[in-house]
């Protein structure tokens, strides 16, 4: 059955939403250029794979380069920099999707080198075959450490990865598997090993047949001497997998569930395409619900990277580490194996961090009231609002604009008291309006 495709106007507004949902927002003018390609051309461009050309100068913190393999927080800054400077935004956004889908935390792994190695694997393989990706994840050193794969051997299988492989990665909680299936899968997954070398950490990750249980197992009521590759194949071919995969992937880009017809068509496409992530993703990015449906809250990393990308700024401070922690998303440190809880992206404990992020981004762009010449900043409240909105290049609702205008009118109304206020209030008001726009619903969502 055919999948619905958006047929409405595809202008700057729609291209901007696409760039936020499938990337980290537009650079100045990028949404207009993408809109000129039409929907098919825009999605096709985003799905183009190949080497990533990072735009602009590499980051420096306190005048020094980053140390992502060694210094705490510099792994977060390294990846944030890639989000800001990437010329392959969808590839980078899918890397973030897979980091959440196959959540692995350095809190347990204890090696920034291995975490970045996993991250690069997601970047290389994230738009290919999903079964191929699961195979790579299963044998990935960071995952082997995180879910105790190295502790799983013949006679003493560890069930952690076997359980999450089915519950979180491929099938869904309770979707057609039993506790016996978990135990039998754990036996199939035995055999991985590595060595710990002082000064180097874990090295020489490999599969050791002598540690593997090669006896018969029964998984999903099917008997066989399954190994780790067959374990993955069994989950992918399970009837529940196609529904799980398409629903979960859809949820990263569209906040409302797909209707029954769309869901059935996505599942058919997924199977017929040979379990291609790229083809299912293309269908999602062209679906009417992405352009006509509800707005979606931006994850903290996307919100921050998008502000820096919009302004052409680069990573230059370690402040982004502690502010990201407060906002609820330190990269490489998801809270647990199920990833981040998107319901917590905007609440009373995390919004202040977003406000402070915007303040820190705007700091270098702020007008200084004592160094701003008369006439450099308008005094008319409506023009001040226009300047603040255009600074971010965002489309705001009528209600947001009215709220901004009310603030500008009240603030500028207080400037008539004396000449000093008349000189200082316009730039101060514009600074505040820029900050309020950054905190608006339109900037927090896409």
In the predicted model, what is the mean pLDDT of residues 306-312?
96
- Closest to 131 measured CA to CA, from 8, 229, 47: 229
User: What's the pLDDT score for residue 419?
Assistant: 72
User: What's the pLDDT score for residue 33?
Assistant: 96
User: What's the pLDDT score for residue 91?
Assistant: 97
- Confidence at 424, pLDDT banded by 50, 70, 90: confident
Higher model confidence: residue 419 or residue 157? 157
Residues 134, 169: contact at Cβ < 8 Å?
yes
Residues 247, 263: contact at Cβ < 8 Å?
yes
User: What's the pLDDT score for residue 421?
Assistant: 75
pTM over 0.75: yes
User: What's the pLDDT score for residue 201?
Assistant: 83
- Closest to 47 measured CA to CA, from 127, 130, 129: 127
Distances (CA, A) of 136 to 122, 132, 172, 297, 389: 9, 6, 20, 30, 45
pLDDT at 2 over 90: no
- Closest to 152 measured CA to CA, from 95, 239, 250, 227: 227
Per-residue model confidence as pLDDT tens digits over 160-219: 999 999 999 999 998 989 999 999 999 999 999 998 887 778 889 999 999 999 999 999
pLDDT at 417 over 70: no
Per-residue model confidence as pLDDT tens digits over 364-413: 999 888 777 777 888 999 999 999 999 999 999 999 999 999 999 999 88
User: What's the pLDDT score for residue 69?
Assistant: 96
Residue 273 burial class via C-beta count within 10 angstroms: exposed 0-12, middle 13-18, buried 19 and up: middle
In the predicted model, what is the mean pLDDT of residues 35-48?
97
User: What's the pLDDT score for residue 50?
Assistant: 84
- Closest to 191 measured CA to CA, from 136, 145, 138, 150: 150
Mean pLDDT for all residues in the chain: 95
User: What's the pLDDT score for residue 369?
Assistant: 80
What are 73's two structure tokens?
A: 């927080």
User: What's the pLDDT score for residue 371?
Assistant: 75
- What percent of the chain stands above pLDDT 70? 100
* CA distance linking residue 295 with residue 123, whole number of Å: 27
Per-residue model confidence as pLDDT tens digits over 136-153: 999 999 999 999 999 999
- Closest to 157 measured CA to CA, from 196, 134, 188: 188
User: What's the pLDDT score for residue 414?
Assistant: 82
User: What's the pLDDT score for residue 317?
Assistant: 95
């Amino acid at each position: 059955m055919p999948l619905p495709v958006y047929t409405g106007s595809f202008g700057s507004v729609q291209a901007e939403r696409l760039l936020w949902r499938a990337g980290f927002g537009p650079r100045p003018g990028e949404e207009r250029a993408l809109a000129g390609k039409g929907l098919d051309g825009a999605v096709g461009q985003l799905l183009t794979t190949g080497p990533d050309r990072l735009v602009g100068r590499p980051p420096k913190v306190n005048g020094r380069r980053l140390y992502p393999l060694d210094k705490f927080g510099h792994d977060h800054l390294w990846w944030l920099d890639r989000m800001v400077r990437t010329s392959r935004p969808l590839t980078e956004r899918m890397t973030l999707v897979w980091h959440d889908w196959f959540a692995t935390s350095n809190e347990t792994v204890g090696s920034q080198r291995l975490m970045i190695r996993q991250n690069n694997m997601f970047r290389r393989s994230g738009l290919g075959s999903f079964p191929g990706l699961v195979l790579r994840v299963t044998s990935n050193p960071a995952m082997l450490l995180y879910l105790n794969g190295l502790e799983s051997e013949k006679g003493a299988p560890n069930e952690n990865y076997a359980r999450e492989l089915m519950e979180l990665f491929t099938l869904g909680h309770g979707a057609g598997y039993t506790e016996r299936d978990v135990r039998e899968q754990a036996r199939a997954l035995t055999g991985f090993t590595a060595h710990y070398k002082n000064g180097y950490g874990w090295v020489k990750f490999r599969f050791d047949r002598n540690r593997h249980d090669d006896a018969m197992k029964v998984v999903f009521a099917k008997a066989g001497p399954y190994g780790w590759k067959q374990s993955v194949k069994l989950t992918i071919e399970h009837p529940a997998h196609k529904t799980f995969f398409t629903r979960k992937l859809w949820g990263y880009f569209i906040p409302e569930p797909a209707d029954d017809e769309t869901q059935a068509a996505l599942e058919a496409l997924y199977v017929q395409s040979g379990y291609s992530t790229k083809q299912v993703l293309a269908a999602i990015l062209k679906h009417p619900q992405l352009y006509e449906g509800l707005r979606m809250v931006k994850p903290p990393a996307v919100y921050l990277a998008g502000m820096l990308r919009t302004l052409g700024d680069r990573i230059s401070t370690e402040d982004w580490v502690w502010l990201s922690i407060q906002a609820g998303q330190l990269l490489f440190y998801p809270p647990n194996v199920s990833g981040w809880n998107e319901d917590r992206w905007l609440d009373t404990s995390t919004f202040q961090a977003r406000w402070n992020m915007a303040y820190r981004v705007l700091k270098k762009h702020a007008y200084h009231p004592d160094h701003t010449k008369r006439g450099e900043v308008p005094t008319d409240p409506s023009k001040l609002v226009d300047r603040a909105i255009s600074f971010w290049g965002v489309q705001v609702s009528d209600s947001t604009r009215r709220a901004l205008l009310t603030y500008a009118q009240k603030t500028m109304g207080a400037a008539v008291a004396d000449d000093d206020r008349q000189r200082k209030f316009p730039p101060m008001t514009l600074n505040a309006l820029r900050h309020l726009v950054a905190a608006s619903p339109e900037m927090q969502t896409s």
